[in-house]
Structure 1
Amino acid sequence: MIIFNTLKADFYRIIKSALGFYSIVGLMVLGLLFAFLGKDTSALETLESGLGNGTLLLPVFLTNVFVIAWGHEFSFRIVNNSLISGMKRSQFFISKVLLTFILTLFFVGMYTGSLLLGTYFFSGGFEIMSVLKVIALQTPLYLAAGSLGILLFNVLKTSYVCIAAFISIAFIGDNLLGNVISTYFSQYDFILDTLFFSNLRTVVGYEALSQGTLQLMMVSSVVYGLLALIVSFSVFQKREFK
């Protein structure tokens, strides 16, 4: 009940202050733009291109989610006030994790929804089931990215450092790690199939992937996400709030 009430208060704060409004508008415009740019190709090709290209820019917008869910709480002493009022740390942490995941899926949904509508308008109808499968495959990967954001905001503490770290990992982290593994640890190249930022784009072409590879991608995203949350909670439990 406490967690539910905390989420209600968070949603009221977000709606009242229009937090994330410009990011949501930007995501919708981006989706429509990709749909417009692909108007001369088939609807399915436009959607696959948009779902793939969107993964290159969505991490930038997701940083706004982390600021809303975690940066605001640490900057304005919300954590302190909540704990002083008798709320358990575990309850507070769970409520913010749920808020992060809900907002992450909402942001992704706004982009995907505008892409779908734009594609239907500019290119015509398409086979919805194949598109829904891509979206379903991307969902745990986006949640893993959300868990990484939670980890960074709990470990690094300073919002602008966390944002810079998240964007850096999203844009160059997988490539850097992939090069290191390929060059020095080629016997562990299976790890390349577990890099969830790269996999966000890879799963768009899921039909070309083996069942084993897809399973590894999905399971690893869940494992990475859980590990990030466990470490985050451990840090949060021991953190002193002044």
Structure 2
Amino acid sequence: MINQIRADFYRLSHGWGIYLTLIFTVIYSAIINVQQIVGGIMVTGDSMSRLNSSGTWTLNDGIHASTLSSSVLIYVFISIFVITIGYEFSQKTYKNTLVSGITRSQFVISKYLIMLLNIFVLIVVYFGTSIISGLLSNRKVGVGWQELLTTTLNTSLVIAFFISVTFGIAILVLISTLSIVMSSLFIVIFPMIVSIINNLVNWGWLKYFDFFSVAIKISLRIIPNNQLWNYMLVSVFVLIVTVGLSIIFIRNKEL
């Protein structure tokens, strides 16, 4: 599995897709912080209340604004999904990988880990750009440096994990349908549908599956500590089930 991860990292580093994704991530973060604007797709009122919109932002305000705007990233990072695993299924080259010595379970797990690591690195760059943009704009820190950097790291971990949960489900869709179009559309549609339904109907359990809104609320400490583990356990359970089903499905696929 280690060799598979190395091979995929080599392939990613020698293609234009990952660099274009990186460039967009940096530019998007810089625009947010230089122009003092908040983007995003699933921004709620309680999330916005955490942003100090009066006067010039501090570096801490820039991190909060970048967090609120980060829902766009799940759509940008579709390129990682396509490059890492989608392309292999569209070209059916995954068959060559599976007969090269790696087990089918290792194949699925390695693909998920590669996506998780790439997403995490890109999000660290995203928030790093936020801090650098603020420094170049001569902004104050707003909090202590240790608190700012700790918040940045924790937020990067949380957002990367919850994006990876959606991508984990997309792997299951890809393996079960063998369609890169269906799995990519799932990444686009699923967060929006869950977020919209969650805002329209009073289904208490649905909030646990609104993964990206959960990521933002956890990062901004909107969710009480006594409820935090409920969200995390549901997400971990969904990830384990979807990866497990992906392994079962690919084991029963004819090469």
User: Which bin holds the TM-score, normalised by the shorter protein?
Assistant: 0.7 to 0.9
Structure 1 gap segments, 5+ residues each: none
In structure 2, what is the Cα distance between the partners aligned to 1:161 and 1:140? Answer: 22
TM-score, normalization by structure 1: 0.85
Partner of 1:167: 188
SS in 1 for 2:220: helix
Aligned length: 231
Tell me, yes or no, if the aligned pair for 1:27 and 1:107 is still in contact at 8 Å.
yes
Aligned-partner Cα distance in 2 for 1:213–1:36: 35
Q: Report the equivalent of 1:147.
A: 168
- Give the partner amino acid of 2:240: L
Structure 2 unaligned regions, length at least 5: 37-54
In the TM superposition, residue 178 of structure 1 has moved relative to its aligned partner by 4.9
Change (3 A) 1:71 1:81: same
Structure 1 CA distance for aligned equivalents of residues 231 and 248 of structure 2: 26
Residue matched to 2:236: 222
1-side partners of 2:151 and 2:117: how far apart? Answer: 24
Say which structure is richer in helix.
1
Counterpart Cα distance in 2 of 1:134 and 1:58: 14
Q: 1:7 aligns to what?
A: 5
169-178 vs 64-73, which moves further: 169-178
**1:63, CA displacement in angstroms?**
0.9
Deviation digits for residues 113-171 of structure 1 (CA, Å, limit 9, x no counterpart): 21222223222334313443433433432332231232232233211222122101122
**Are 1:135 and 2:156 counterparts?**
yes
Distance 2:142 2:178 in 1: 45
Superposition CA RMSD, Å: 2.2
User: Structure 1 residue 113 and structure 2 residue 128: aligned?
Assistant: yes
Matches within 5 A, 1:1-242: 3-38=1-36, 40-55=56-71, 57-122=72-137, 123-127=139-143, 128=148, 129-180=150-201, 182=202, 186=203, 189-206=204-221, 208-241=222-255
* Of 60-69 and 153-162, the range deviating more from structure 2: 153-162
- The amino acid that maps onto 1:137 is V
Structure-1 separation of matches of 2:154 and 2:12: 31
Identity of aligned residues (%): 18
Give the Cα separation in 2 of the matches to 1:59 and 1:30: 13
